[in-house]
Amino acid sequence: MTIIFVLIPLGLALVGLALWAFFWAVGDGQFDDLESPGWSVLADDPPPEERPR
């Protein structure tokens, strides 16, 4: 059972990583609008010549 002395800290480290990622996502506004990003995949990319260079 001594393996848990390694696995639990490892698990906690992963939780910490997940929390960090979640905090980043919240701070970045990823949860502010849950609707329109879903639509953006349907929109075509603009033709290249119209992009400002």
Q: Is 35 in the site for other proteins (CB under 8 A)?
A: yes
How is residue 44 written in tokens? Answer: 């075509």
CA distance 49 to 46: 8
Q: Does 33 bind other proteins (CB under 8 A)?
A: yes
Contact 31, 25 (CB under 8 A): yes
Read off the amino acid at residue 38. Answer: G
53 in contact with other proteins (CB under 8 A) = no
Interface residues with other proteins (CB under 8 A) are: 1, 4-5, 8, 11-12, 15, 18-19, 22-23, 26-27, 29, 31-36, 38-40, 42-44, 46-47, 50, 52
